Structure formats: structure tokens, C-alpha cells
């Protein structure tokens, strides 16, 4: 190896060494860029999925709020036609809740998340029957 290197002057040896260093640096930069790009895509997917879950949960919470407010209005002394409007609003809120619920449950979940969903549905069923 030394005999091969000694055949060349210092200039070509340094040029070859710097060329190798520049190529290695470029290769390392390319690998880093690809890693950052894939990490960004992964984070974007996670954020999008979490924002979708938050939006659907907020839709469900808003529907619950509307149902509670309209149930209060039904119980208060009002005219029968007002009560029918309140009941219609409750039916619409229940439909909105069911739509958001089905969309949220269509998103894949972990086994622990599935257990939590099952428990929520089990505890929520008696309340839905009362309303």
C-alpha cells in the first residue's frame, strides 16, 4: 500500500483523500436527510391521527352538551311545541354523536384502547336507555 502511495506526489494524494472525505460527507448528509424526512412523515401521520381523534371526541362531547341542555329544557315548564323542538334537537344531537362515535371507533386502536372503548360503551348503554 505504501509503495502505491509513494508513486504519487503529495498533491494527487491529498486530492484523492479530500475527494474521499467529501464523498463520505455527502453520503452521511444524504442518509441524515432521508432519516429526517422519514421522521417528519411519521410525526405528521401521528399528529394527523391524533387531531382526527381529538376532533371526533370534541364532536361527541358537543353532542352530549346539546343533549344535556335540551333535556333540561324539556324538563322545564314550556309549551308542548317547544318540547317537540327540544326533542328534535336531541334526536339530531344523538345522530351527530353516533356518527362521530362510529368514525372514532373505525380508527384502529391498541388492545388497551379497545378495552377502554368496551367499558365506555357498557357504562353508557344504561344512560342512553334512560334518555
- Name the residue ranges covered by the structural domains of the chain: 2-130
- pLDDT for the residue numbered 28: 97
**pLDDT band with cut points at 50, 70 and 90 for residue 5:** low
CATH of domain 2-130: 1.20.120
- pLDDT for the residue numbered 4: 66
The reported pTM is 0.67
For 6-22, what is the mean pLDDT? Answer: 84
Residue 37 pLDDT greater than 80, yes or no? yes
Question: pLDDT for 63-99, tens place per residue?
Answer: 999 999 999 999 888 888 999 999 999 999 999 999 9
Dihedral angle, C-alpha 41, 44, 49, 55, nearest 10 ° = -160
Amino acid at each position: 500500500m505504501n509503495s502505491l502511495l509513494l508513486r504519487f506526489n503529495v498533491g494527487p494524494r491529498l486530492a484523492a483523500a479530500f475527494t474521499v472525505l467529501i464523498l463520505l460527507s455527502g453520503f452521511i448528509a444524504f442518509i441524515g436527510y432521508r432519516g429526517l424526512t422519514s421522521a417528519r412523515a411519521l410525526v405528521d401521520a401521528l399528529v394527523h391521527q391524533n387531531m382526527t381523534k381529538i376532533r371526533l371526541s370534541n364532536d361527541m362531547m358537543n353532542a352530549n352538551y346539546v343533549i344535556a341542555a335540551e333535556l333540561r329544557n324539556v324538563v322545564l315548564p314550556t309549551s308542548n311545541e317547544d318540547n317537540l323542538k327540544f326533542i328534535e334537537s336531541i334526536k339530531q344531537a344523538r345522530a351527530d354523536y353516533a356518527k362521530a362515535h362510529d368514525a372514532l371507533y373505525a380508527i384502529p386502536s391498541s388492545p388497551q384502547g379497545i378495552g377502554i372503548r368496551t367499558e365506555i360503551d357498557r357504562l353508557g348503554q344504561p344512560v342512553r336507555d334512560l334518555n
